[in-house]
Each structure stands twice: as C-alpha cells, then as structure tokens.
Amino acid sequence: MTKGYWTRIIIVVFIVASLGFSASTLFHQSLRLDESQSLWVSTKSVWAIIQYLSLDVHVPLYELILHFWLQIFGVSIIAARSLSFLFFIASLPMLYLVAKKASNTSIALLTITLYSLSPFILWYSFEARMYTMFTLITIVSHYYFLKLIRTNGQKGQVGYFFATLFGLYTHYFFVLLIISQCIFLAVYHRQRYMEQKKSVLLAQYPYILKKGIIAFIPPLLLSILLFLPWAIYFILQGAAGNTQPEIPPSTVYDLFQAVVNFLFGFSPLTIQSMLVALWPLCIIPIFFLFSKRSAPTKIHNMLYFVSVTILPVVICFLVSYYKPIFLARYLIFITPSFFFLLSWMLFQTSKQLSTLVISIFAFIMFSFVVIQNISNSTPVKENYEGVVRYLNTHVTPSDIVAISTPFTIYPIEYYYTGSATIVTIPLWDVYKSGSIPPYTTAKLATQMKSYASVYQDIYVVLSYDQGYEASIKKYLDTHYQRKLLKEFSPGLELREYKLRYE
Amino acid sequence: MVNNIKQRSVSRSLIILNCVMALIYMGWWFYFPHADNMILYILLLLGEIYHVGMALGFWFTIYPRMAKKINKGFFNDSLEVDIFITVAGEPVAFVEKTAKAAKDLNYPKKKIYILNDGYIAQKDNWEEIEQLAKRIGVQCITRKTPGGAKAGNINNALRQTKGQLVAILDADMVPHNNFLSELVPYFVNERVAFVQSPQYYKNNEENNITAGAWEQQNFFFGPIMQGKDKLNAAFICGTNVVVRRKALLEVGGVNEQNIAEDFLTSLFIHQRKWQSVYVPEVHCEGLAPEDLLSYYKQQHRWARGSLEILFRFNPFFRKGLTFEQRFQYLLSALYYLNGIIVLIDIIMPVLYLYFGVQPVAATTTSFALFFIPYIYFSFYTIYIASGESITFRAISFSQSSWTLQLSALYSLLRGKKVQFAVTSKQKKVGNFLFLIYPHLLYVIIAITGVIINIFRFGVDPAVTTNSAWVIINIVFFLPFIKAAYQWNNLLHVFSFPWHLHNFSKTNI
C-alpha cells in the first residue's frame, strides 16, 4: 500500500474518532438556552415563526427549515441537533472542493481534517442552532464566488445568487461576508487592471474586466432586493430593540479569544487565558504568508481567503466600539477560510517539518475536543437538564421555582415535570407577546412578599446575568435563609431559600 | 541561466498605509504610562525607533517614483575597457574560468588583467596564476609592494593601465558574454561614473548557507538597489561593475582606508556629482560562501566597514550629496546596528523570566492591536517588493547575524584593525558550532527560564506571553543554527548501530 493511502486512512480514522467521540458526548448533553429558543419557535406555525423572529436578532430561514424537519422526525432535541450535524457533514465535501480548486488535494484534505477536528466546529455541529448551516452556505458562496472569478463572470451566477440569498436569511453577519467579497473584488480587479494596462492586448482587457465585475452585480442586487422585505419588516417591528442580548464591549482579548476558540474550542477559562497570552505566536504565520511559497495556490485565491477571513473580524471588531456585536460564534462563517489558510501555511515548510507540525496540531486539537466535551468547567456548557432533574425530584406543590433571567425559562420548561409553580424574576409571561419588563429591587421585594404568604421554599435558578443577578442574590441573602447553593455549570446556579417558618 | 533579479513595484497607497500603521504603532510607545521598568522601556523604545526608522527608510527607498533619466545608449565600442580580475589566492581553476569568459566577451576594445595579490597575501599559488595568465594570453599584474588590500591591488593596476573604463570582477565572478556590451552603453552619458550589476550566486542551491546568502543578496539587489538607483544612490558592490577611470581617479582611486572600500569610494564619487547606474540583470555568476565561517567573515567585513563609515565618514554630514543620497548611505550603514537592537529584543523576555522585571506594564493584548497590523503590513510590503521571493531563511540569517554585528561594533569601538580577507570560494570543512554558541546559550538559558517559571507560577499570562516571545526568537535562530552544523551526524552518534547487530545469533 502506498504512503498516500495510509495517510488517507489515518485522516479518516482521526475524523471518525473525533466525530464519534463528539457524537457520544454532545448529542445527549443538556439543552442550552439558545437551542431551547430555536426548538420552541420551530414548533410554532410558519407565520408565528416569522413574527417571533422579526422581534429577535436572528433571521428565520434556519427555524423554518427546523420547523419542517421536526415535523418529519419529531420534536426532540436529538432530532434538532441532527439537522445541524447534517449541515456539518454536507460542508465537508463542499469545503474539500473549494480548497482543492484553490490549491491541491493534500491541502484540501488537511483543511477538512482540521475543520472536522476543530472543537469549536464540533460544538456547533451538535447544537440546534443555525451555525453549521451558516458555514455551509458560506462555503457554497466561496465556491460560486471563486467560480465567477475563475471564469471571468461566465459561470456561477445562479449559485452565487442562491448562496447570497440563503446566507442573508440565515444570519445577519452574512452581510460581513458580502462586504468582504466586494472589497476583494475591487482590489483584485484594480490589480488586474493595472497589470493588464501594461499588456499588449490593452484594447480588449478593459472590456473583459468590466464583464467580470458586472457578472457579480445581478446576483448580488437580486438577493439584496429579495432580502429587503424582511429587512423592512424587521425594522418596522422595532429592529429587535428589546430582545438584543447583552454583549459586553469588545476588547483585544476577545479578538484573540475568538482565534483561540476557532482553533481549540471552549476550554476552561484558565486554559483559554493561557492560550490568549500566547498571542506573540501570531507573528509566525507571517513567515508562511509573506515568504516565497512552495505550496501551490494562485495569488487571487490567497488574497480572497485572507480577505474573507480577516475583513469580517476587523469590521465586526470596529463596529463593536460603537455597538458591541463581537461574538466568536457569530463569526463562525470565517472558519472554513481560516482552516484553509492554516492548512496552506502548514504545507509551506519542508515535508518532515510540516508532517511533524500537522501531527502535533491534530493531536492538540483532538485533546481539546476531549477537554471541551467532558469537562464540567467548559464555559459554554449550560446544564439546565441537571438543574431541572434536581428540581423534579426535590420540589413540592408548596414550593415555588423562580427563574432569572426570564428567557432562560425555555430550556427549563423543556425538561420540567415537577409539581411546583414556575415564575420568572422579573415577572414575565412567555406566552404573551411583549418584551421582558425591566428589573427593579422594589418589584422583586413585592414579588417575594406575595410568595412568602403562599409558599414554603423558593428555588431560584440564576443564569445569563443581564446585569441584575448580583442584586437578586443580595436581596435574597439578606432577607431569607439560604438552604442550598449549587452550581451546575459555569454561571448556572440553583439556590433554595426558606420563605417562612411554620 | 538567471537573467534578472526579482522585484515588483509597490503601490503608493500600500506604502502610505504602512506609514500610517507605523505612526499609530509608535504612538503606543510614546504613551509613557505603558512603562513598567523605565530603563527597559526606554531601551525597547529606542529599539522600536530604530526598527520603524529603518522600515520608513525602506519604504522611502522602494516608493514608486520615476526613474532618473539615464538612457542606455546604442552599442558603442569606442571606449576602451580594462578588465581587472582581482585574485588573492583563489584556486587557479576559478580564475581560469573567469579569465577565459572575460576573453570571450562580445566587446572588442578590451584588455584583460589578472590582478594577482597572491604574493602579497602569501598564497602558495601566486606563481601558478602568473603561469595561467601566460597560458591563456592575458596580462598579469603581480603586486610586490603591500598595502590597501583589494583596493590597493586595483589602484596598483590603475597606475599601469589606461583604458577609459575599468571593469572589476572577483576571481569567481564569471561574466556572461554580454556583460560589457550591456553595461558600457550607459557611459554614453558623460556624467555616469559607474554601472553596477548584481552578484548572482550560481551555487545558491548547494546548501543552507549558499541559499541563505543568495536570498539575502536577491533582496538587496532587488528592491533595495533598484530603489537606490532611482535616487542616484546605488553604490559599487566590489565586483561586476564597470567604472569610469576619470571618476575613479578624481576621488584618488579606490579608497584604501576602509575595508568596505567599494561603498566608501561610491560615496566619494557621488560627492563629486557623478551619476551611477544599477542594471538589475544578471551578467556575471559567482560563488556564495559555502560554510558558516566564510559567511560570517564576509558579513563581519561588511558590518565593520559600514559601521566605520557611519562613525568616521558619516554620510549624513558629507558635502556634495543630495538629501536622498545622504539618507540612502546612512540607511545602508545603519543596517549593521541591528545587532544591538536584536540583543535588546531577545533579552527582554529572559529578564522577566529570571528577575521578574518587564518594560511594559500595560496589558500586552492591547499592545498586540497596535503591533500586529504594523508588522503584517510591513512584511506584506517586503514580500510584494521582493517579487514574492523573500524567504524566512533570509530574514533569519539577517536577524541571527546580531553576534557578528556586535563583534564588528566592538572591534570598531576598541579601534582594532581588521584586515581585508577574501571571502572563501571553497567550502571549509570543520566544526563551526563556535559561531552559534551565543545562539545556543540563549536557547538553553531561555528555555530553562520558561521551565522554571512554569513550575513556579504555572501558566500565568505574563509567563506565557514572555515564553511566546522566547519561542519566536528561537524560531528566528533555527535556520542559522541548522546551517552551522551537520545535525544529522548527531543522530548517527546517538543511534544504536542496529546494522552491526546480528539478530539471528541473538540468544534470549
């Protein structure tokens, strides 16, 4: 058997091991808040989904697909997660194709290996959210965009149109990809124009160039035009003014943390801060990117992948100074090009060195998959299932369960079978349309007094601090006797207080 | 056969962007509340001023501007050329090849002289060189009165010859057939003093040293010399050059006071308002140093010569030069101060690891926001300017040369006299590990510091960041360390001699 054959075998074994391990650990883990919202919304009618999401910070395509998916396979978290996993699986051959067209088979194989070993990607491949669908559409967009470039606007218009349209309806951040593609297009065509200006065939080149640029306009315009109705509707509904998540202002730390997340996923915070502190190593890629190249690639491909990897991050980071929007998961769509660039760089050195570095890299990534999936300190883990399991076995009809922040009621309701009443702090009726009322200590005091006369104990589930968690804790600790404090996952606490003595 | 040196023009907007990034980056450094230990901070600040200054100088050099108006005339053989092949003990075979190629040049009015300095340099083969000259029918000028090294050898020949132009070739630099016919036409312009062509190393794929040396040359003869040429600041590089005798005599011949005689002579010529031309086409092929010791000696000579010019003939204060010429000569000489800056840079993380002192108090990730865009844009510009041919090895060799640059500076400050030594064209066999002892020492000290700190403080962010800087420095040194020794030999020494073991007779 040839060496290449064995390499492929090892790659397949690695990918299968990584996927198998992730499937066994992530498919069955507790429902998370975001997932519960997707699941909850997707069980509504099509019109209700559109209405609900017009008030939210997300676009409706994923929830609509999930809606029909659940109709076929039943409403369960496993079924919902399977859809994300399917998108992930579909993105592998597509990414291979894009990478191969831009470089060669070896780099393409390494790209999909690293992509499928990435703890970050694996995490979202088993989450009932739109992220893997978002990356799949991004890869399709890369494919048709580069096809349009390669054929000077002759082929790929239809594919690019659909990719852009679906991308816009999958995540608002797809706009960042479109902007990056437009910037690339402007720079690339200017470069070509300057090069060809010197050419003998000057007379016909401007025409060809013009045609190359014009080919992008109809699919772009048409998709934007078809997105406009949603955009107008969204703005008329208040542009998610009341449902935007509290995102802290971005710092440079977040920037590096995002890169660490892409490569090594969500490890415990001490490990993450250690990895972020290794930031000077960011200099090393310079020697691969900006030195005589041995691995094959056409310059326009490199420029494209660099543009669609770096520009969205830069734009997002700069915008975040005005309005914080920087979240690593929202930037998941840059990971395919990021892993392509990484693979290409790893192939720039000598064969022995690149084999050694790739092996070490793959091993480290796989180790982080294990750490992320099994560690209880993984910061993105939300063990609502554990909390509710505890509540189901401990609460009685004379108790009350209070949940804060109110929107975390979705995952709790999914599992809850207990006999106690569930309320939220501040009080909010999830079944009535309208935003969550603001929190005040006075309102909390009134709420608690009303419970004290009826219930024996109150179980308070605290997670997703929206700025008033400390105040709730302080009020409860100073007014009632605390009987229990238990942390189920980072930032998810259960507290039990005695309301009255009888 | 290589015909030209790689280079690509860089857009004005990219250079302006680089300048903006550099200014923003320096802005971070000039905000002094970032300082922790003020002495270390000032040292680093000086280093960064140097780095950014050199970067600005480079961008100024490669800035796209109209080339100066020196037209190449039509082929003209009215000027008589004396071809000087300088020899000081090089193997006869090398000299023969060069002399025969010189004879074959498609330029009729030429006289070939082998400038034999073997007698002065006490080389065994000086008589063989004389015999060679006789055999192939070229003239040989053997010097008997010492002084001035290579410059003295050329000046001695200048006194005995009378061609209007002088072509200078090192013993190993074999000219292409069209060397003179391509370079001489520029002398139609009466103000042209010299026309320089690149030094191409045909053995550049021989080993790591030759490859690294060539890659450095390629960058120098690419964007740098072409940029200097547009500013009328290209200088003589010792060989592959044609010089107008009148210009040379006007400055008293080749300067004998400095071991970078070519550099200083060019400066004097430019002071007298002569024009220079650099032709970025390969017309001669020579040999790169094949071992680290030869490379070290060559670089040391250049460093010592350039630093001496900086201190003794500071180009910035020389009369008769244009601002651009002053700036370009200064830049070339300042390059060899890099050794001090590299030392400062590499020592900082080690100081933290052993003594807990650090120059910067600010969170280092905020520094990254200023540093990373600047460094990425800088390297991207270098990459583009080099015609996408710059290599990590070339950068590594130039960064790892800090020891020889410091040694050159030290010898200059002590006033130690350095003899001109011809760069060896033949591989010296031996152990040159001693040349990288400082690098190895750094690796050992730094890694020990990292290990101790991890045991003491765990993966504390400050320890981690300083460890990362240590890794970067070591990565920089690796190609240089690799080139110093046949490391594969070590594997043989420590590996068990399985091939000598007869398994069939093994009794268990």
Q: What's the per-residue H, E or C state across A3-41?
A: HHHHHHHHHHHHHHHHHHHHHHHHCCCCCCHHHHHHHHH
In B, minimum Cα distance to A279 occurs at B465
With contacts defined as CB-CB under 8 Å, which chain A residues touch B462? 277
Which residues are within 8 A (CB) of B358 and not within 5 positions of it... i.e. 6 or more apart? B36, B37, B40, B348, B351, B352, B462, B466
Radius of gyration from C-alpha coordinates of chain A? 25
The Cα-based distances of A34 to A145, A331, A380, B151, B285 in angstroms read: 31, 16, 11, 79, 68
How far, in Å, CA of B256 to CA of A28, rounded?
Answer: 83
Mean pLDDT of A233-245: 74
In a domain, A24, yes or no: no
* Residues of chain B contacting residue A326, judged by C-beta atoms under 8 Å apart: none
Quote ipTM for the complex.
Answer: 0.81
A343 and A477 inside one domain: no
Q: What's the average model confidence in pLDDT over A259-274? A: 90
Helix (H, G, I), strand (E, B) or coil at B84: strand
Strand partners, A172: none
Q: Which residues of A touch B (CB under 8 A)?
A: 251-253, 255-256, 270-271, 273-274, 276-284, 286-287, 289-293, 299
Q: A254 and A123: one domain?
A: yes
Q: Report if residue A7 sits inside a domain.
A: no
Q: Does A139 score more than 90 pLDDT? A: yes
Residue B488 has pLDDT above 70, yes or no: no
Residue where one domain finishes, among candidates A337, A352, A374: A374
List phi, psi (to 5°) of A21: -65, -45
User: Residue A438, SS3?
Assistant: coil
pLDDT at B498 over 60: no
Residues A416 and A482 both lie in one domain: yes
What are A297's two structure tokens? 């690639």
Average pLDDT, stretch A264-280?
89
User: Are A395 and A442 contained in the same domain?
Assistant: yes
Q: How confident is the model at residue B207 (pLDDT cuts 50, 70, 90)?
A: confident
CA dist., res. A363 & res. A359, Å (int): 6
Q: How many CB atoms lie within 10 A of CB A377?
A: 14
The answer to the question of residue A78 being in a domain is yes
Q: How far is CA B127 from CA A109, B132, B483, in A?
A: 64, 9, 36
Mutate to test the interface with B, among A272, A279, A311 (most CBs of B within 10 A): A279
Predicted structure pTM score: 0.83
pLDDT band for position A267 (cuts 50, 70, 90): confident
Is A304 found in the same domain as A225? yes
Task: Identify whether residues A451 and A320 lie together within a single domain.
Answer: no
- Residue B418 pLDDT > 60: yes
Domain with A425, as residue range(s), is 384-498
Separation of alpha carbons B212 and B397, rounded Å: 7
Q: What DSSP assignment string belongs to B181-228?
A: HHHGGGGGSTTEEEEE---EETTTTSSHHHHHHHHHHHHIIIIIHHHH
Of A348, A374, A400, which one is at a domain's C-terminal end? A374
Amino acid occupying residue B490:
L
CA distance B98 to B174: 5
pLDDT in tens, A191-210: 777 776 665 555 555 556 66
The CA angle B300-B168-B398, to the nearest 5 degrees, is: 25
Instruction: Indicate whether A359 and A433 sit together in one domain.
Output: no
Q: Which neighbouring-strand residues pair with A496?
A: A459, A484
Residue among A182, A111, A145 nearest A342 (CA): A111
Q: Residue A197 falls within a domain, yes or no?
A: yes
What single-letter amino acid sits at B123? K
- For the beta carbon of residue A225, count every other beta carbon within 10 angstroms: 10
Residue B502 in this model has a pLDDT that exceeds 60: no
Beta strands in B249-349 (DSSP E): 275-278, 284-286
Average pLDDT, chain A: 88
In a domain, A98, yes or no: yes
Q: CA B186 to CA B418: how far, in whole Å?
A: 36
Is it the case that residue B504 has pLDDT exceeding 50? no
**Interface contact B462-A281, CB threshold 8 A:** no
Tell me, yes or no, whether A25 lies in a domain.
Answer: no
- Indicate if the pLDDT at residue B75 is higher than 70: no
- Token duo for residue A398: 């004379």
Select the residue of A251, A282, A290 nearest B383 (Cβ to Cβ). Answer: A290
Last residue of a domain, one of A374, A403, A431: A374
Query: Do B465 and A277 count as a contact with CB atoms less than 8 A apart?
Result: yes
> Which residue, among A198, A287, A289, A293, would best test binding to B if mutated, counting the most B CBs under 10 Å from its CB?
A287
Q: Which residue among B365, B382, B459 sits closest to A253, beta carbon to beta carbon?
A: B365
Q: In this structure, are residues B249 and B163 in contact, taking their beta carbons and an 8 Å threshold?
A: no
User: Residue B326: CB partners within 8 Å, gap ≥ 6?
Assistant: B315, B316, B318
A402 shares a domain with A334: no
Q: For residue A4, is it within any domain?
A: no
In a domain, A277, yes or no: no
Find the length of chain B: 508
Of B366, B390, B471, the CB nearest to A292: B390
User: Nearest Cα to B435, choosing from B396, B480, B491?
Assistant: B480
Question: If you average pLDDT over residues A398-404, what whole number do you get?
Answer: 93
Evaluate whether B254 touches B151 at the Cβ level (below 8 Å).
yes
A96-105, A204-213, A439-448, B41-50: segment of lowest average pLDDT: A204-213
Distance CA B121, CA B305 (A): 20
Same domain? For A146 and A197 the reply is: yes
Res A342 pLDDT > 80: yes
| Nearest CB partner across the interface for A286, out of B366, B379, B471 | B379
The verdict on A190 and A214 lying in the same domain is yes
Task: Tell me which amino acid residue A345 is.
Answer: M
A302 is written with which tokens? 């490199």
A75 alpha carbon, distance to own chain's centre: 22
pLDDT, averaged across chain B: 88
Confidence of residue B507 (pLDDT cuts 50, 70, 90): very low
A402's tokens? 């209070």
- Tell me how many residue pairs between chain A and chain B have CB atoms under 8 A apart: 77
Q: Are residues A46 and A158 in the same domain?
A: yes
Whether the bond between A105 and the residue before it is cis, its omega within 30 degrees of 0, is no
DSSP letter for each residue of A255-299: HHHHHHHHHH-S--HHHHHHHHHTGGGGGHHHHHHTS---S---H
- Kind plus residue range of the DSSP H or E element containing A495: strand A492-498
Summarize the confidence of residues A135-163 as an average pLDDT.
Answer: 93
> Given this model, what pLDDT does residue A400 score?
94
CB-CB contact of A303 with A310 (8 Å)? no
Q: What is the pLDDT of residues B285-333, one digit of tens each?
A: 999 888 888 888 889 988 998 998 888 888 888 888 999 999 999 999 9
Closest partner residue to A279 (CB to CB) among B368, B376, B392 is B368
Q: Are B339 and B398 in contact (CB under 8 A)?
A: no
Do A165 and A200 sit in the same domain of this protein? yes
Nearest CA to B402 out of B345, B352, B351 is that of B345
Pairing type for strands A457-462 and A481-489 reads unpaired
Query: Considering only CB atoms, which chain B residues are within 8 Å of A277?
Result: 364, 459, 461-462, 464-465, 468
Does residue B4 carry a pLDDT above 70?
A: no
Distance from CA of A76 to the nearest CA of B (A): 42
Domains in chain A, number: 2
